[in-house]
Structure 1
Amino acid sequence: MRLTFWSLVKGVVFLWLLWIPRFEGQFTNPQTMPARALDATLQDYAYRAFVHPRTGIPYDGVPPANLNGIEISAMRLRSGSLYHRGVETFREFRIPVGLREQPYVERLILVYQNLGNWSSTYYSLPGYAHLTPVLGLLAYNGSDLTAVDLPELDLWASEKAMTIKFEEVSPVPAGLVAKCAWFDLHGQVNFTDVVNENVCLTTEQGHFTIVVESAAAPEQEPPATVEGHPEAPSKKDKDSWVWGIVGSVCGGVALLVLLALMIVLVWKYKKRKKMRELERAADAGEALRMTRVGSILRAPYALPTRTMPQFEINLGA
C-alpha cells in the first residue's frame, strides 16, 4: 500500500505542475504575447542592418513587408562608454550618463522601434486614444550580430532619467489631459505626466506613447492583417482567457482536495491494520519460552509470577 500511496502522490503532483504554467500564463496581458513576438521579429531585422558596423553609429533596418509602416534602427555601443558618456541623441531618445544593464555585457545593441499605424494594434488601451505613435527602446547583447530570439537585457538609468521627445503629437481635445504611457516588458502599463507638451521621462526600457483619456474615444482602425502575422486578441479570446483563469483555479483546488482525501484514507487504513494486529496478538496469547533440559532436550517453561504465594499458619491451640 505504501508504494501505491506514493505513486498516487507523485501523480497528483505531476498533474498540479501541469496546471501551474497555464495558471500563470492566464494573468499575462492579452496584448503581451503578440507584442513580444513583434519585438523578436524586429530585433532580427534590426541586426541585419549591421553590414560593416561602427560603434555609436545608428543603422536603419528594413522590417518585413507585412509590417509596412514600422521603423527600426539599431546602435552598437560599449557598455563602459554608454555608462560614462551616454548617448546625446538616438532618434527621439536622449540617454544620459549612468545607464546600466544586467547581466553585464562588453557590447550591447539598442534597438529603436516606431510602430506607426500599428501602435493601437499591439498597444491598445481601452478608454484611451493615442496622440503619438508607440516608440520602443530595447537593449540586447551585441557580441553576436547574427543571433535571433535574444532575450532583452535589463536596462535602467541609475543617475538621470532618459527623455523621449515625440515629434508627432496630435492636439489634445478640450477639457482632457494628456498622459505618458509606458508599457514594460511584462505587459504592465504605467502613466506619468507629460513634460513640455511632448516629452516623457523614463528610467527603464520599454514602449512609450502619449495618450488621452476618453471613455468615448473611437477605436482606431487597425491595419489589415497579413497572413502569418499575429493579430490582436478579440473579445472572444479575452472571454476565453477569463474562463481559463476560473478553470485553472478550480482544477488546482480539486487536486488539493483529492490529495487531502488520499492522505486521510491512507491514515485510516494504517490505523485499522494496526488494530487488527493487536487483536490477533491478544487472541493468540503469550507464547511460552523454551529452555534446555540436559544437553539435547528443549522444553517450554513459564515465567515465575510476580507475587509469591502466602501461606497461612494457624497458631491457635
Structure 2
Amino acid sequence: MLLLMILLFCSLRVVTAQTNSTGSARALDALLQDYAYRALVRPRTRTGRVYDGVVPSNLTGIMVSAMRLRSGSLRRHGFGMYKEFEIPMGIVEKPYVKRLVLVYQNLGNWSIVYHPPPGYVYLAPVLGLLAYNASDLMAKNLQALRINASGQPISIKFSDIKSLPEGPVPKCVSFDLNGTFDFSDVLPDKTCTTFQQGHFSIVVESTALSPVPSRHGKKNNSKVWIIVGSVLGGLALLVILGLLVLLAYKYKKAKKMQHMERAAEVGESLEMTRVGSTMAPAATVTRTQPTLETEYVP
C-alpha cells in the first residue's frame, strides 16, 4: 500500500511538472507572437519577406522572426527556405484564413527551460514554426492555426549542433502545442522532418553521454599521484619535526624541574666541627645573640 502511494505521488509530480512546462511554453509562444508581429508593423509590409523581431532583455538568447504569406500561394508553391525550415507545397491551415503569418522561433539557451526533454540532452537549440491569422497585425494572444503538410513533409535543417563522441545515436524530437513530444530518426544531413507546426530539435539520451577516456590518462594519473605523494610526504615530515621539537621541549623542562627539586632537598650546607670525638654540623652564624636577663636594659 505504501509503495503504491509513493508511485502515485511520483507520477502526480511528473504530470504536474509537464503541465507547468506546457503552460510556460504556451505563454512564451503568445509573447513571441506579439514581438514578431511588431516587426511587421511598418508603412509597407511585403508579402514573403522575413522580418526579424526584437525580444526584451530578459529573454536574451531567443530569436524571433515573422513572414506574411497568402495561404493560397503557400499551398500551391510552398516557400523554399525560411530560416532552417524548408516549406514544401501542399501546406493547408485550419481554420482557413486568406493571409497568415509564419512565426519563427529559436529558443537558444532557453530551450531546456521551456521544453525540457526527460532523459535527454539537447544537441541543438529548439526551433519553432507557428502559424497565425494575418488579418490584424496589431493583435495579441492569437490562437495558433493548425497547419499540415499534405504532400512532402516540412524539413528542418539544423546547423548549430554540438559535437558528439561516437556511439550515442541522436534523435529528432518534436513538441506539439499540447506539450506531447515524439522522436524520429535524424537524416544524414542533420535534418528532421515534420508534417505539422510545433517545436523541434535534436537530442541524445543523457545516459549515453559517458566520459571519453583520455589517451594520456595513465600519464596524467601518474603525475597526479606524484604530486599527491609529495604533498603527503611533506606534511608527514612537518608532523615529525613538530613532534621532535615538542619532545625536546618537554625533556628540557623535565630536566630543569629535577634540578630544582634536588636543590630544594639539599638546602644550605653546614660546616662540620668536632665535639669531643664526634664530628657534628655547626652553624657559622647565629641570627640572634644570647642575652642574660641581668644584662637586659629596657
What TM-score, normalized by structure 1, do the two folds share?
0.59
Measure the CA separation in 2 of the matches of 1:217 and 1:124: 17
Please say if residues 168 and 209 of structure 2, whose CA atoms lie closer than 8 Å, have aligned partners that are also in contact. Answer: no
Matched with 2:78 is 86
Measure the CA separation in 1 of the matches of 2:79 and 2:158: 17
CA RMSD in angstroms comes to: 1.7
Structure 2 residue corresponding to 1:142, chosen from 128, 134, 147: 134
Matched with 1:187 is 179
Structure 2 residue corresponding to 1:60, chosen from 21, 43, 52: 52
SS at match of 2:36: helix
Structure 2 residue corresponding to 1:125, chosen from 117, 123, 129: 117
Shift of 1:214: 2.0
SS at match of 1:156: strand
Measure the CA separation in 2 of the matches of 1:38 and 1:174: 35
Matched with 1:41 is 31
Matched with 2:91 is 99
Is 1:157 aligned to residue 149 of structure 2?
yes
Deviations 1:231-285 (A, max 9, x none): xxxxxxxxxxxxxxxxxxxxxxxxxxxxxxxxxxxxxxxxxxxxxxxxxxxxxxx
Q: Structure 1: which amino acid aligns with 2:38?
A: R
Matched with 2:198 is 206
Measure the CA separation in 1 of the matches of 2:189 and 2:50: 27
SS at match of 2:160: coil
- Where does structure 1 lack aligned partners over 5 or more consecutive residues? 1-24, 219-317
SS at match of 1:148: coil
Q: Structure 1: which amino acid aligns with 2:101?
A: I
Is 1:173 aligned to residue 194 of structure 2?
no
Please say if residues 168 and 208 of structure 2, whose CA atoms lie closer than 8 Å, have aligned partners that are also in contact. Answer: no
Query: How many residue pairs are counted as aligned between the two chains?
Result: 194
Please say if residues 136 and 206 of structure 1, whose CA atoms lie closer than 8 Å, have aligned partners that are also in contact. Answer: yes
Measure the CA separation in 2 of the matches of 1:173 and 1:43: 37
Structure 2 residue corresponding to 1:116, chosen from 97, 108, 111: 108
Measure the CA separation in 2 of the matches of 1:147 and 1:45: 11
Q: Structure 2: which amino acid aligns with 1:48?
A: R
- Where does structure 2 lack aligned partners over 5 or more consecutive residues? 1-14, 211-298
Q: Structure 2: which amino acid aligns with 1:38?
A: L
What TM-score, normalized by structure 2, do the two folds share?
0.63
Identity of paired residues, percent? Answer: 56
Deviations 1:101-135 (A, max 9, x none): 00000000000000001011111112111000000
SS at match of 1:119: helix
Shift of 1:175: 1.6
Residues 131 and 109 of structure 1: CA distance in aligned 2, closer, same or farther (over 3 Å): same
SS at match of 1:55: coil
Measure the CA separation in 2 of the matches of 1:131 and 1:216: 13
